[in-house]
Chain A
């Protein structure tokens, strides 16, 4: 069974940093692109970042470019999101997702999410 388990969320002050992790199991981790999607309270979904299965390519939404860094650890089947210079508007539930990249791209598996709150 495919499982994605996020951790690392919490309360952080504006300007602070936080590192999210996602433990993946039940599939060949290195064969899949992985991504982060966030959802502010009461709002819609926003794609944040994606990293290819090999880890050699990363892409970011303009709203987080230069502040967030996505990475993956193949020895631990773990995805990370390093978030720096956090702002109030980064407050959201952050979902770890698996992305299929065959003929089309789509998010076929989602974690349960971890809440990040940026507030003083």
Chain B
């Protein structure tokens, strides 16, 4: 099974900060990585698919990159509504989520 290791597990940031979250796969998975955002008490929402493609309606301050084993989600200028938990997911072999990164004030 492909394991996805996210880091950090949590981070503190301020409005306007540039935030980067990383995800490392246990084997090479091309670009089969997606990113989701989850706010407390709500269902997750898709942000990025296929490593770097912005889902419809997602603000352009979100971006994704990577291929092979290392992937990143970047928020270029953190906004108040971006405080949430972020998950990476691989779909190269079955489907596996990372453990999540909580972005706090």
Contact = CB atoms under 8 A, between A and B. Distances in A.
Secondary structure dominating the interface of A: strand
A80 B104 CA distance: 36
Given A104-B32, A106-B34, A47 B45 contact: no
Interface residues of B, number: 23
A107 interface: yes
Contact of B97 (A35, A46, A112): A46
B100 A44 contact: yes
Among A37, A106, A111, A112: residue with most chain B CB under 10 A:
A106
Contact of A107 (B31, B34, B50): B34
A29 B47 CA distance: 23
Given A45-B44, A45-B87, A95-B43, A108 B97 contact: no
Interface residues of A, number: 22
Interface in A29-63: 35, 37, 44-47, 50, 59, 61-62
B52 to A, nearest CB: 11
Contacts of A111: 43
Interface of B: 1, 31-32, 34, 36, 38, 43-46, 49-50, 55, 87, 89, 91, 94-100
Given A62-B1, A106-B50, A106-B89, 14 more contacts: A44-B99, A45-B38, A45-B44, A47-B95, A50-B95, A104-B31, A104-B49, A105-B32, A106-B49, A107-B34, A107-B89, A108-B49, A110-B45, A113-B43
Interface of A: 35, 37, 44-47, 50, 59, 61-62, 95, 100, 103-108, 110-113
